[in-house]
Structure 1
Amino acid sequence: MPVNPELVGRAFAPTAPYLVGREKVREFARAVLADDPQHHDPAAAQALGYSDVVAPPTFAMVVQDFTLQQLLAAPDAGIVLSRVIHAEQKFRYSRPIVAGDELTGQLTVAGIRTLGGNAMVTCDAEVTDATGAHVVTATSVLLVGDDA
């Protein structure tokens, strides 16, 4: 089954709130080799004006992943995980993610472009904090291979 073109414009339900933990930020920072003190030391982050450690920019993928799981689980999507390659990623921040944030993501399928028998699916995950304020928009482009 090819990717369903009717996905364009579909907004999925907001994810359950995700509480950003200090140790999760530290673990993620170590994994991506982000060694700046603001990612590990609360005092260093506070000296920069933050309430706690600051997540590296790509940490938004943790929340975006929950939104992408909704898309992949949609029975009418026509997307089979074994045929998906994560082709592109972008982030547009209003402010950094900080330990203690409670974040919710909501995915919208922004576009689908067909290339041969393959499809490029562009998805925007709007990530907001507990007050509903925008934190980051994470945009992914998924390359979905054809059945052949």
Structure 2
Amino acid sequence: MPLNPELQGRVFPPTEPYLVGREKVREFSRAVFATNPVNFNVEVARAAGYDDIVAPPTFAVVVQELSLAQLLADPDAGIDFSRVVHGDQRFTSTRPIVAGDELTATLTVTSVKSLGPHSMVTAQSEITDAAGEHVVTSISTLVVRGDE
């Protein structure tokens, strides 16, 4: 089934809040080879002016994935996940994510394009904190390979 072009402009419901845990930040930091002590040590992070340890900028993908899962699970989307290749990823942050943040993501499909037998879908996740304040915008482009 081809990608549904009517997805463009669709806004999905906000995700359930995601509570950012210290150990998750530390695990992610190790996984991406972060070396800044603010990513691991609470005292160092607080001395630098943060409420708690700071997640690397790409940690936002953990929260964005929750919103992308809605798109990928939507039977009307026409996305066969076994044919998906990640094409692009961008982040624009208002402030860093810190342990203790409670984050919610709202996904909007901003573009659907066909390129021969392939399709591209670009989705933007607006990630906000418990007060509803913007934290980061995460934009992903997925390439859905067509039939060979």
Q: Shorter-chain TM-score: which interval? A: over 0.9
Counterpart in 1 of 2:131?
A: 131
Structure 1: distance between partners of 2:117 and 2:104: 34
SS at match of 2:10: coil
Structure 1 runs of 4+ with >2 Å offset:
none
SS at match of 1:85: strand
5+ long unaligned stretches in structure 2: none
Deviation (angstroms), 1:31: 0.5
Counterpart in 2 of 1:12?
A: 12
Structure 1: distance between partners of 2:45 and 2:127: 22
What do residues 68-123 of structure 1 show as CA deviations (whole Å, max 9, x unaligned)?
A: 10000001001000000011000000000000000000100000121111111100
SS at match of 1:28: helix
Counterpart in 2 of 1:27?
A: 27
Counterpart in 2 of 1:75?
A: 75
Counterpart in 1 of 2:44?
A: 44
TM-score, scaled to structure 2: 0.98
**% identical aligned pairs:** 61
Structure 2: distance between partners of 1:44 and 1:80: 45
Structure 1: distance between partners of 2:113 and 2:98: 35
Q: How does 1:106-121 map to 2 (within 5 A)?
A: 106-121=106-121
Letter of the 1:88 partner, please give it. Answer: D
Deviation (angstroms), 1:147: 2.9
Deviation (angstroms), 1:35: 1.3
What is the aligned-residue RMSD (CA, Å)? 0.6
Letter of the 2:28 partner, please give it. Answer: F
5+ long unaligned stretches in structure 1: none
